[in-house]
Amino acid sequence: AAPVAFMGGMSSAARLNVIIKDGSVLETLAQVRSAAFDKTGTLTQGRADVVEVRPGARTAEETLRLAAAAEQYSVHVFAEAVIAAARARQLALPEVTEAEEVATHGVRASLTGGTVVRVGKPAFIEEVAGPIDRPALRAGETAVYVSVDDELAGLLIVSDPIRPHAAETIARLRAAGVAEIAIVTGDVAPTAESVAQLVGIGTVHAETTPQTKVEIIRAIRPRPVLMVGDGINDAPVLAAADVGIAMAGRGSTVASESAAAVITSNDIARVADVAHVSRRTVHIAL
């Protein structure tokens, strides 16, 4: 009877737009006791907007123009927002001769003439520009730092709204017996903590890298542990969890390949839905 039940579970999941790699995923998911969520693009929509540009050594317009030039070479969810903001202001972008995306940190680009632009998190910019004061932000906002030739050019304030069903999904998982729920994010602590508070998560691991995300997931108890993530940088941690669920989206092909399940409908509530399907399926199978 078991294989039939698992096939039923997999087709229930498919109707929810959740692709499951095999029946054993449902079995593990039904036992899950802890969960970790990536923030950017997972708990948040990953459809960010540049809401403000704060000038530093360069004007607001120049800061945005240079940042957008570099972001053309990034697959991060914020890159799209920065490019769209430059386009909306009809800014002509300078030519990039070389660019490199540094996962969870940002992007570095060389322009014709040798100017070097960095766009990303504070630590990435402080490597070249020295210590920078942290700006005051509203909930759901992240400051994207821009440096030009080792000097802070300005800040882009990016707003990345929380997904509509995020809080409800966390509450449903808790009600289903998932005792420990954490955020594991590459973003800085204040932004991560404001999101955690809004969705009802008590534990925050901020400024993580793809490698430290893996270490954190391995240490989480009780097990089994579920990881929900999206970006390229989440591929290792999705593979390291007992069950990895990927939110499909921009730049997430690699994440999807290393996950046990993939949500293709862009709705985080599917995490709780498929957890429910798994428990029902295992109940029928046993």
For 74, the 3-state DSSP assignment is coil
- State which residue, 10 or 247, has the beta carbon closest to ligand ADP: 247
Which one of residues 62, 141, 187, 242 is an interface residue with ligand ADP (CB under 6 A)?
A: 187
Applying CB under 6 A, which of residues 140, 186, 236, 251 lies at the interface with ligand ADP?
Answer: 186
If we measure between CA atoms, which residue out of 187, 76, 185 comes closest to residue 142? 187
CB atoms inside a 10 Å sphere around CB 255 = 29
Q: Is position 107 an interface residue for ligand ADP (rule: CB under 6 A)?
A: yes
Closest CB to ligand ADP among residues 9, 106: 106
Q: Which is nearer to ligand ADP, 27 or 187 (CB)?
A: 187
Residue 187 in contact with Mg ion, rule: CB under 5 A: no
Whether 242 and 230 have beta carbons less than 8 Å apart is answered as no
What, of ligand ADP, Mg ion, none, does residue 106 touch, CB below 5 to 8 Å by kind? ligand ADP
Q: How many residues bind Mg ion (CB under 5 A)?
A: 5
What positions carry a catalytic annotation? 38
Q: Which helix (H) or strand (E) holds 222?
A: none
Nearest to 196, CA basis, from 228, 234, 166, 217: 166
Q: Which stretch binds ligand ADP (CB under 6 A): 4-12, 91-99, 104-112, 168-176?
A: 104-112
Counting contacts by CB under 6 A, is residue 37 touching ligand ADP?
no
Binding of residue 39 to ligand ADP (CB under 6 A): yes
Report the distance separating Cα 182 and Cα 162, nearest Å: 16
Asked if 41 touches Mg ion (CB under 5 A), the answer is yes
Q: State in angstroms the smallest separation of the CB of 27 from Mg ion.
A: 27
- 3-class DSSP assignment, residue 224: coil
In the region spanning residues 214 to 233, those forming contacts with Mg ion, defined by CB under 5 A, are 230-231
- Rank residues 40 and 169 by Cβ distance to Mg ion and give the closer one: 40
| Residue of 2, 62, 18, 14 lying closest to 248 (CA atoms) | 18
Nearer to Mg ion, 38 or 62 (CB): 38
Q: Which is nearer to Mg ion, 62 or 160 (CB)?
A: 160
Give CA–CA dist 257/219, Å, rounded. Answer: 23
- Rounded to whole angstroms, the Cα distance separating 105 from 120 reads 6
In 3D space, the residue among 19, 20, 23, 21 whose CA is nearest the CA of residue 4 turns out to be 23
Subset of residues 108 to 127 that bind ligand ADP, contact rule: CB under 6 A:
119-121
Strands laid side by side in the 151-159 sheet: 49-55, 151-159, 141-148, 116-120, 106-111, 96-102
Q: Give yes or no for residue 74 binding ligand ADP (CB under 6 A).
A: yes
Q: Which of 35, 36, 125, 144 binds ligand ADP (CB under 6 A)?
A: 144
154: CB partners within 8 A, 6+ apart: 53, 54, 55, 56, 57, 58, 59, 60, 62, 63, 64, 146
Of 27, 38, 62, 273, the residue at the interface with Mg ion (CB under 5 A) is: 38
Number of residues that bind ligand ADP (CB under 6 A): 23
Which residues make up the interface to ligand ADP (CB under 6 A)?
Answer: 38-41, 71, 74, 76, 78-79, 104-107, 119-121, 142, 144, 185-187, 231, 233
Which residues make up the interface to Mg ion (CB under 5 A)?
Answer: 38, 40-41, 230-231
